[in-house]
């Protein structure tokens, strides 16, 4: 880890104070982009020959995705509770890399390559609940004309392909910046 001169650190802190509002504006913007991209992936369900699929509008996919996003709010509360009350001895790296109930938490038993951190964070209980909520939402949008298994398959093909592409892109970028 590098040691920076005091003036550099002070300038950085001052610039953060000056631009604090950008962080607050960027969070909702990123959430909107994420929801729209996931709804876009789910929109590919319309390519399948399913009952009532022609009645589904893009806004319906956005609504289902927004409902499912509440799972990640619960994950954030879990992380807050973990670091505020349970695990009070932590480093900055612990806070940055910790994701509740994910495979990354078991990094002693799994490879700790930096590029593997993100995919290991993605494999967690909250992501599973997210998939299940999307499955329920798709089944509801199709007016319960398909089974939960088929609905889960549709989510796997559409959202699963999107998340796989996203994880591969993030891993690629990490590998390129690391070496």
| Confidence (pLDDT) at 94 | 78
Examine residue 132 and state whether it is found in any structural domain, yes or no. yes
With contact defined as beta carbons under 8 Å apart, do 118 and 174 qualify?
Answer: yes
Please report the pLDDT score of residue 164 as a whole number. Answer: 97
Give domain status of residue 1, yes or no. no
Is 122 domain-assigned? yes
Supply the pLDDT for residue 41: 97
pLDDT at position 88 is 82
Kindly state whether residue 92 falls inside one of the protein's structural domains.
yes
Tally of domains in the chain: 1
CA atoms of 57 and 49, how far apart (whole Å): 16
In this structure, the number of other CB atoms found within 10 A of the CB of residue 20 comes to 9
Residue at 31 is within a domain: yes
Give the DSSP per-residue string, 65-86.
HHHHHHHHHHHHHHHHHIIIII
pLDDT value of residue 1: 47
Q: List the domain range (segments joined by +) for residue 56.
A: 6-178
Per-residue confidence (pLDDT) for residue 163, from 0 to 100 = 97
Examine residue 157 and state whether it is found in any structural domain, yes or no.
yes
Q: Walk along the chain (179 residues) and give the pLDDT tens digit of each residue.
A: 466 677 877 887 787 788 788 888 898 999 999 999 999 999 999 999 888 899 999 999 999 999 999 999 999 999 999 888 888 888 877 787 788 889 887 766 666 677 888 898 899 999 999 999 999 999 999 999 999 999 999 999 999 999 999 999 999 999 998 76
* 142 domain residue, yes or no: yes
């Amino acid at each position: 880890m590098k040691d920076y001169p005091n003036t550099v650190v002070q300038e950085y802190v001052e610039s953060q104070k000056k631009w604090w509002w950008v962080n607050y504006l960027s969070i909702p913007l990123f959430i909107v982009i994420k929801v729209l991209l996931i709804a876009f992936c789910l929109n590919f369900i319309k390519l399948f020959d399913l009952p009532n699929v022609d009645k589904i509008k893009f806004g319906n996919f956005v609504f289902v995705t927004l409902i499912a996003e509440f799972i990640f709010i619960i994950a954030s509360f879990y992380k807050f509770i973990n670091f505020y009350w349970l695990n009070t001895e932590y480093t900055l790296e612990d806070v940055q890399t910790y994701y509740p109930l994910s495979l990354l938490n078991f990094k002693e038993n799994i490879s700790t390559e930096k590029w593997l951190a993100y995919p290991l964070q993605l494999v967690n209980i909250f992501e599973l609940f997210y998939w299940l909520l999307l499955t329920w939402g798709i089944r509801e949008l199709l007016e319960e004309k398909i089974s939960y298994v088929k609905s889960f398959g549709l989510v796997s093909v559409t959202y699963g392909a999107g998340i796989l592409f996203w994880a591969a892109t993030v891993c690629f970028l990490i590998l390129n910046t690391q070496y």
